[in-house]
Amino acid sequence: MTEAMETPGSETYLAALAGILADVEDASRVIASGQIAELRVLAAAGRLAEAQGVHSDANVLLHDMALRSISAELAGTMRMTDRTVQRRIGEARVTIEGFPAAVAAWEAGRIVRGHVSAIVDAGVNLPAELWAEFEAIAIERCEGQTPNRVRGELEILAHRMHPRAFAERHGEAASGRCVRLVTGRDGMSDLIATLPTVIAEGIHDRLTQQARAIIDTRDERSAGSEVVATDARSTDQVRADVFADLLLAGTPALDDTRDTTAGPLGAIRARVQVLVPAATLTGADDGPCDLAGRSPIDPATARTLAGSTHIWERLFHDPTTVVTVATDSYRVPSGMRRFLQARDQHCRFPGCRVAAIRCEIDHTHDHALGGRTELTNLAHLCQRHHSMKQFTAWRVRQLKGGVLEWTSPLGRTYREDAPTPAVAFIPAPAQPGDPAPF
């Protein structure tokens, strides 16, 4: 490779990168076309099996056998098990027949397969008569967003559209909480706990904090000692080891952050950020609350968390743009940091979902070059994308309303809007007899 090809700013490099990008776009279109064609074929196979049961003398067993037979036939060609093919036939029918507008948007290039999966996964829990209405709104919200970014929002939307209260449905689901042991290979097993989301998120967050504390301490010891560190465990491995210690001993059997047991690890507690609509907090509404933009939680849990909180964070949103404009958080250190966490929710690089509490606050216009420390020049970036902004040709500028405009080395621009707040206040419709506005 020539020196010019290796220089990121050279014309040769940019031309090569542009060619690769064009090839990726072409390949994506071909792949999408093939995936859509496969879904339609599988759906047709399901309809063919169903047609075997339309005769008056047919029964459920006959239909099931026809579906099994067709699945086995296709399995040989697709090089899959017949059970997998049968499952995919069912999924294809739901997608093609239940959400045709989403498939059409995918085919037109407005959204991608991940968006369709997110729409179907969230919408299928609604009554079938609401699918079309949900689908239309969901497609609009997917455009311009990555699938992982919009998935939580679609789940919230589906929960709010459901005719049954979220609290009622969560109560039924919570009755199925359990812990399962699945024996694996080589002396290993999976311990699986099905818990309310806020509990599961809290457990995982606390384990992550403890694992990072152990790894940070380990690094400090190896840097200040001539002895080579023998602990080379990954974050996942440390997290699993702490998990086992906590369950077996109540507190970590060995606290690697100090020389005695029951040290700093035992004091670490999970942090859970919940956005609670005012109506839900007062009990006037039983809709779902938002767990830091990740997934919905039941209102009873949200009220319990709110009841044990000593300091409150009130979020205020512009009634037109629905963008957060002010906050008086309970969290230290600064109101500016709290405002940015409320506004950004996650890393502001396109498609990134790292939570704001795990990110760094970056000066969009570098502080060393005169950038001011003010809300219109600050945004959350995870360590990966913060470094990329500093050391690559990617550039960003901040527009009004917290909008970031990223420019790639090829000159392509990507608009990154501030996330839609899960809690928004809108004027109530005027009622007969209401006094005239001032």
pLDDT tens sequence across 228-267 = 555 788 889 999 999 988 887 776 666 666 655 555 666 6
Task: Assess contact for 324 and 315: CB atoms under 8 A.
Answer: yes
Query: Any idea what DSSP says for residue 158?
Result: H
Nearest to 124 by CA among 149, 158, 165: 158
Identify which has the larger pLDDT, 62 or 44.
44
Least confident segment among 68-77, 184-193, 334-343, 405-414? 334-343
Instruction: Give CA–CA dist 253/210, Å, rounded.
Output: 13
pLDDT tens column, 89-146: 999 999 999 999 999 999 999 999 999 999 999 999 999 999 999 999 999 999 988 9
Q: What is the pLDDT of residues 275-286, one digit of tens each?
A: 677 677 677 777
Where do we find the tokens 């609670």? Answer: 276
Angle, vertex CA 436, rays to CA 433 and CA 438, nearest 5: 155
The Cα–Cα gap between 17 and 407 comes to: 14
**Amino acid at residue number 323:** V
Residue % of the chain over a pLDDT of 90: 30
In the chain, the amino acid numbered 198 is: V
Q: Which residues make beta-bridge pairs with 275?
A: 290
Sign of torsion over alpha carbons 181, 184, 190, 192: negative
Asked if pLDDT for residue 379 goes beyond 60, the answer is yes
> Residue 5: pLDDT band by 50, 70, 90 thresholds?
very low
Q: Which of 388, 358, 209 is nearest to 294 (CA)?
A: 358
What does pLDDT average to over the chain? Answer: 80
Say if residue 219's pLDDT is above 60: no
Q: Which helix (H) or strand (E) holds 275?
A: strand 274-275
Any bridge partners for residue 362, and if so which? 379
pLDDT band at 55, cuts 50/70/90?
A: low
* Residues found in the chain: 438
Indicate if the pLDDT at residue 306 is higher than 50: yes
Residue 88: what pLDDT? 95
Q: Which two tokens stand for residue 41?
A: 């074929």
- Residues 56-67: what's their mean pLDDT? 68
Q: Confidence class of residue 291 from pLDDT cuts 50, 70 and 90?
A: low
Phi, psi of 21 (to 5 degrees): -65, -40
Task: For 389-438, write each residue's pLDDT tens digit.
Answer: 888 888 999 998 899 999 988 888 889 998 877 666 666 666 676 665 54
Angle between helices 82-93 and 11-51 (to 10 degrees): 90
The torsion angles phi and psi of 379, rounded to 5 degrees, stand at -160, 155
Q: Decide which of 84 and 6 is more confident.
A: 84
pLDDT value at position 269? 63
Which stretches of 287-376 are DSSP H helices? 299-307, 335-344
Question: How far is the C-alpha of 190 from the C-alpha of 283, rounded, in Å?
Answer: 39
Q: What are the C-alpha distances in Å from 110 to residues 30, 107, 405?
A: 15, 8, 20
| Burial category of 163 from C-beta neighbours within 10 Å (exposed 0-12, middle 13-18, buried 19 and up) | exposed
Residue 173: both structure tokens together: 């689901």
State the residue for tokens 């670490």: 268
Q: 264 is written with which tokens?
A: 């700093």
Cβ neighbours of 185 (radius 10 Å):
6
Q: Round to whole Å and give the CA distance between 352 and 384.
A: 10
Checking if the pLDDT of 78 tops 50, the result is: yes
- Give 411's DSSP letter: S
Would you state the structure tokens that stand for residue 119, as one six-digit string?
A: 């729409």
Decide if pLDDT at 329 tops 50: no
